[in-house]
Chains A and B, each alone.
Chain A
Amino acid sequence: MTPSKTLLLAVGVLTALSMAGCTNTRQGVSVLSVGKTLIDSRRAQGPAKKEIPDSVVQREIRRALSSSDGPFALMQIEGTGSVAVLRVIETNGPYRTWSAWGTSERRSVSTRGGVITSTRGLGTDLMSSSVNGLLGMLSRRQDGIERQVLRHLDGENQIEETEAYCAFTPDGRQTYEGGALRLAVTRIDVFCKTDTGTFNNYYLVSDSGRIVEARTWLGEGLGYFTLSHLR
């Protein structure tokens, strides 16, 4: 829930009058930037979905793969229609942190075993998740029920946990093609229920147990993300 645009405008105009127009300090949120925020929030009447042609995406994937031998993945955000080729920028034990390839933009996602466990810099970020049970269930490729926990910040910067109970259903074999990968996978559909709603994820798992593609719900603000491994 966000304050309505009119209210933002009113509060904004009042606060704008109480702050600096320009300054040499880091505190400086200027009148202009508040104005811009307000204009942006008024413009954002329903997210405008970007349509990116597949040929452009495929060309970017080829360029990325030829640039280095490292791991790459394709991330698609359903809510905004954004697509990005990601590269690994850091590894911490079983976790990998990814950022957009070919830009220095500081937004990132972290994964464990191919599943997104946190995001940074996207707004309403997923702060951390517990996916142990989920990964175990996927590696066995059997049906069953497991618990998953997503953690976000609430309006007071407190960690808010969303507990989901998820039912796993193996749903047939198919061939996965993405970047340099072409292999046989099992699709596992996952139906999850939280206190306030439900969501539907799926995972494509190779015979060796590697999750090569995952469509996961990351919270109310972020919606569904699909991460497809390219190498």
Chain B
Amino acid sequence: MIRTPTRVLVALGMFGLPAVASADDLITRTTNNYGTPGGLIDMPTAEVAPDGELTTNVTYFDGFFRTTLSFQITDRLSGSFRYAGTEDITPQFSTYYDRSFDLRFRLFDETDFTPAVSVGLQDFVGTGLLSGEYIVATKSIGDRLRVTGGLGFGRFGSYASDGSFGTRTPFSFNQGGTGGQFNIDDWFQGDYAFFGGVSYQATDKLLLSAEYSSDNYDTAQSAGILKRSIPWNFAATYQVSQNTSLRAFALHGEEFGASLTFNLNPKNPSVKGGTELAPLPVAVRGPRSAEDLGWTTQPGREQAITASLEQSLQQSDLDLEGMTLNGRSAHVRIRNEKYDATSQALGRTLRSMSRELPPSVEMLHVTLIENGIPASTMSFSRTDLERLEHRPAREALAAARFTDTLRFGDYPDPFESVYPRFEWSIGPYLRTSLFDPSNPLRADIGIRAKAKYHLGSGWIVSGSLGQKVIGNLDSAVRPNNSQLPQVRSDVDRYNRTDEPFIENLTVAKYGRLWPDFYSRVTAGYLERMYAGISGEVLWKPVDSRLALGAEINYTHPRDFDQQFGLRSRVTPGGTIPEFNGHVSAYYDFGNGFHGQIDAGRYLAGDWGGTITLDREFANGWKIGAFATFTDVPASQFGEGSFDKGIRFTVPLSWLVGTPTKQKASGVLRPLTRDGGQRLEVDGRLYDTIRESHRPEVAKSWGKYWR
């Protein structure tokens, strides 16, 4: 123990040190039985989850199951996607499956005297079995008790209604519609009722809740599958581990059930800052050594410097592809296959340069190469590098200059050894099919071999070959009643092959047309369903958060066995057109959100646009949603009315704690139909070059000195 004199403590107190923060702003990591953040049971609260939190909740009670994925999109806004199944609720199905989306927005934060207030929409697109809207207030009393009261419509206004407002279309299994519509006319309409509840944090791990529920379970009661004796629900939630909680609950004095919640926050990687080994330190030049240009006349010196720099970069898993060196400056051409934080690749490159280049070299330029084309050039003065090594990282960002490589001027040619280059990988794959009513989860596991042959600057031949090992995707047999050219709905037939299949086999040419302009042409078997030619142009200045692109594709459907053959364009729903394509705008709002708009012609020949909004975390996590609206009417589109879904990207470095550019990405669609479908082609330009541009590099600049 170290003695701490009282007067020191008094002095520290007088310094006005900030007290340990106690206000948690009604944050919770628990979810209710609908999987939305909150400590009650069926009823919502005005609590929020920590910013960025992802929760998965599985709830079950006699004949009812719900799986909900919730995301705290901002500190005020949360969104949920739910898949619910109910047994025997309608004679049409033994189990009625339903997908639903929720949104909730915190209007007012809690103050000392007023509660937090939120407004929410439950099941606001779709067929509406769970539809309800509410305005809810929650107030904490002390550290452990939270009291909630609210006013609900729809389901939340179905028991002991206190009044009615306007008219609301009642829920029916026989609406005949295609679902997927926004039921705006019904929001906050019809009967309303008050609800309320309390939650009490009994111990650090145990939360007790009680609520008065205004949900009458009308449909379930009339189907005779649920009885409701009292309006009260009770629950005990136990925090099993930091990210897992288990709940037992009693509903309406009749039903008992359990739910399990998993929490995950993209802001919490396995190891903050990573566990990769130390970089080389900056080598500082001796005083006046920079004046010595004698080395420039020594024969063979440049080759020796190049070789030692190449070796030094190898230690950091970076590839030197070329270099030009003169008395006062050096320019290197770098391929970074390792560091997902580009700033780290740049920082390590520059430190290697400081150790290997003669002292007279003052200006250091690094051109990053992506798919064989220059993506950006970063310049840094060696004096700054020496001066700022132990300073806060932001000072180095101010000293770094990013330029479009073509605008910068000449850049080094690749060494002869760079091309041709062969890359391969072999690994497992997982392919899933979700939400089929006859079997909501199907999957195939197989093995996949990929190869890439880099022929020359920007020329890449690549292919991917797969073989299913085990799985039940082939058991899906859904009649295809699509009224559109069947561009995606034949997926079952593509899944049915037991032979090796070619996922893609293409030759691509990447290029730089002018400063700020990038180009790509890809030809061959572009994806599992289509072959053809895809051409793309992208405009993106190196320090811009805006990019504009255009893509045009000539496509032909591939045979279902996904080998070399093609099949007829004619399908029962119509003929698949030859051309499709889009113009796109990409914008990084700079506050963690990224928007994308694509407008053009989709695979089935339908015209329209896709809007995508992603929450992007600086460590590489992305969670977003998209919706596509085309000139196909809902009746022709079929179930779901329009194409929509959720997409996510998980950087592997977040999980393993060391740098890698590998990531796992996925798209979750409630339903895949034929309207609003785009071609899936590998290596689109925006994602290829974006990481090398200043806005992205600056986001993770903290890793520059790591």
Which residues does A use to contact B, with CB under 8 Å? 1-8, 10-12, 14-31, 33-34, 37, 41, 89-93, 95, 97, 99, 105-108, 110, 112, 117-118, 120-121, 123-125, 127-128, 143, 145, 151-159, 165, 167, 169, 171, 189, 191, 193, 195-196, 200, 202, 221
Contacts and interface: CB of A to CB of B under 8 A. Distances in A.
Given A20-B426, A41-B270, A193-B17, A123 B662 contact: no
A103 B348 CA distance: 21
B430 A1 contact: no
Given A155-B619, A169-B5, A171-B3, 20 more contacts: A3-B268, A6-B244, A18-B429, A18-B664, A22-B426, A23-B426, A29-B656, A33-B656, A90-B281, A92-B281, A92-B389, A123-B271, A128-B391, A155-B269, A156-B267, A158-B618, A165-B12, A167-B8, A167-B9, A196-B20
A126 to B, nearest CB: 9
A189 B664 CA distance: 49
25 contacts: A3-B264, A7-B263, A15-B652, A22-B426, A23-B425, A27-B660, A37-B656, A37-B657, A99-B278, A106-B277, A107-B277, A110-B281, A120-B278, A123-B271, A123-B657, A127-B706, A128-B391, A145-B8, A153-B273, A156-B618, A158-B618, A159-B702, A171-B3, A191-B2, A221-B271
Contacts of A10: 262
* Interface size class of chain B, counting residues whose CB lies under 8 Å from the partner chain: 35 or more
A26 B655 contact: no
Given A18-B429, A29-B660, A157-B702, A127 B393 contact: yes
A159 B430 CA distance: 37
Given A23-B426, A128-B705, A195-B21, A7 B244 contact: yes
Contact of A165 (B15, B393, B426, B619): B15
A107 B706 CA distance: 11
B445 interface: yes
A11 B279 CA distance: 29
Contact of B706 (A15, A125, A191): A125
A21 B273 CA distance: 25
Nearest to A118: B390
Contacts of A127: 273, 393, 702, 705-706
B301 interface: no
Interface in B665-706: 699-703, 705-706
Nearest to B21: A195
Contacts of B338: 26-27
Nearest to B262: A7
Contacts of A110: 281, 390
Contacts of A195: 18, 20-21
Given A106-B278, A153-B272, A169-B5, A34 B703 contact: no
B474 interface: no
A157 B426 contact: no
A interface majority secondary structure: mixed
A16 to B, nearest CB: 8
A139 to B, nearest CB: 19
A202 B650 CA distance: 43
Given A23-B423, A37-B655, A153-B703, A123 B274 contact: yes
B661 to A, nearest CB: 5
Interface in B405-456: 422-430, 445, 450
B636 interface: no
